[in-house]
Structure 1
Amino acid sequence: MKRYNAILINNIPAHPETLRKQTAIHEAGHAAAIYLGNKQKQLPPVFFQIIIKDMMHDTQWPRQTRHSISHAMACFAKVEGGRLIHTLPSSLTEATRRFSPLERQAYQSAFEADIVNFLAGPLAEAKYIALCDNEIFNPRLVNLDALHFYGGVADVALAKEYLDCLIVGPQEKERLIAELFMAAYRFISQRSHWRAITALAEFILSSGKKVIECEEIIRVLEAQAV
């Protein structure tokens, strides 16, 4: 779950502290959905951690982009791990062909939970920016297509990659992604979850660590999500 900020990609100046806060909220949104959301759905726990890397030395970025940004802004963050479906099947139908009805339902729930967790990151960032700007935040103003403005390019691409495993028509895919988008929106909008997201973001910003371990993340989230 990588967060690449459109501000950096488009080489538009942004205050380093603003970018750091947005990144922290984004990754905290992913982490909260992975831990609290999966737990709420009674899904099995998964290992994950938050990694902060130096973008100036990341060869995935074009050389011109890496040279045109300040050192203070030169970072990207990602949640490492956290997926319930480790390897995507060629199709969901084929993957669950020999499953019992109960096993098939559990696999489908895990499949959909991963998509919700992908979308929770950019949605959390979108909500944070809306609150900072005293703007209204709702799913009509911030839809799936708008998430690329909130570091969600890779997240939405992953969600669509999952949906490609479904042997259904485009209308059915559109209906399902809309439902899962709303599930992610409802998750971050719940007061206790938002409190946990903001607390974890503050921890990310203040810890000074390059790796935030799973146990530390869970401890912060559990302290707030009551």
Structure 2
Amino acid sequence: MVLDMKRNKIIDVPSFDNKLTEHKQCVAFHEAGHAAAIYLNNKAQNLPPVFFQILFKDRSGSSENHKNTYHIIHDDCIARVEGGRLIQSLPDSMDAFLDKLVAHDDVMVHAVEDYVSAFEADIVNLLVGPLAEAKYIADTDNELFNHRLVNISALKNYGGRSDIATAYEYLQSYSPNKRQQDEKLDELFNVAFDFVNDYENWKAISKLANHIIDSDKDTINCEEVIAVLESTDMNDFADEISQPDRYVRYA
């Protein structure tokens, strides 16, 4: 099972080339946010590498005019990050699942901590996508980017509707209580906001977004993403991450 992270806000077909360019840039920053978080956020928490790739629809094979029109009309299909999920299947109740793990072996306490970190990282990585798009637009318009102006409910304006829906799928296993779900989402939203607002992270997201804009590929694999983010020789890590059977996954 894979986790698709995509920009899914449907908008009208732009009338001018500059509007189309602006739209492509928004999409690039959205997907760059997801991809950068999957690599950098997971790495910062010592979570295992996980396979992902950025997919684009119809980057080749049709005329530019037809291709661009199709992308804008079917905006939910223009680009997405495939994979990137640490939690492969969500339990009906996370508390019951974790209690069962610990009951089997006290040593499992560390594994439980890792599972919780992976669970929360998946949600944060979902939220970073629309937040990166929001920050790009705010910076472009010389506007402030803060929690008051960009909150969870505002993310739907930045292609984040499906990201929020997937986050709530996670939170339903976290707790059946809507208030507790919202509190946890608020907590992780703040983590995602701080990730995007961090200078080094934003520089990495921007670098990857520009690479996406300049690329004419239908697929940008994780090795290429990592090389852009690290701007160094990533051959050793690429060898490891390109072998899916070597990944650590959380059931």
Q: TM-score range by the shorter chain?
A: 0.7 to 0.9
Corresponding letter in the other structure for 1:90: D
Q: 1:102 aligned to 2:106?
A: no
Give the secondary structure class of the aligned counterpart of 2:88. Answer: coil
1:47 aligned residue (40, 51, 67): 51
Residue deviations 1:100-147, cap 9 Å, x none?
A: 221111111100000000000000000000111111110111100110
Q: 1:193 aligned to 2:217?
A: no
Within 5 A, what are the aligned runs for 1:44-193? 44-54=48-58, 70-71=69-70, 73=72, 76-96=78-98, 97-99=100-102, 100-167=108-175, 169-193=177-201
Greater Rg over alpha carbons, structure:
2
> What are the ranges of 5 or more consecutive residues in structure 1 without an aligned counterpart?
56-66
User: Contact 2:58–2:218 (CA<8 Å) still a contact in 1?
Assistant: no
Give the secondary structure class of the aligned counterpart of 1:50. Answer: strand
**How far 1:213 sits from its partner (Å)?**
0.9
**RMSD value over aligned CA atoms?**
2.0
TM-score (norm. length: structure 1): 0.87
Give the secondary structure class of the aligned counterpart of 2:56. Answer: strand
> What are the ranges of 5 or more consecutive residues in structure 2 without an aligned counterpart?
60-65, 103-107, 233-251
Give 1:21's aligned residue.
Answer: 25
**How far 1:172 sits from its partner (Å)?**
2.1
User: Contact 2:34–2:126 (CA<8 Å) still a contact in 1?
Assistant: yes
**How far 1:167 sits from its partner (Å)?**
2.8
**How far 1:71 sits from its partner (Å)?**
4.1
Corresponding letter in the other structure for 2:101: R
User: Contact 2:33–2:205 (CA<8 Å) still a contact in 1?
Assistant: yes
Give the secondary structure class of the aligned counterpart of 1:98. Answer: helix
Q: How many residues are aligned here?
A: 209
Alpha-carbon distance between aligned partners in 1 of 2:222 and 2:101, rounded to the nearest angstrom? 33
1:32 aligned residue (23, 33, 36): 36
TM-score (norm. length: structure 2): 0.78
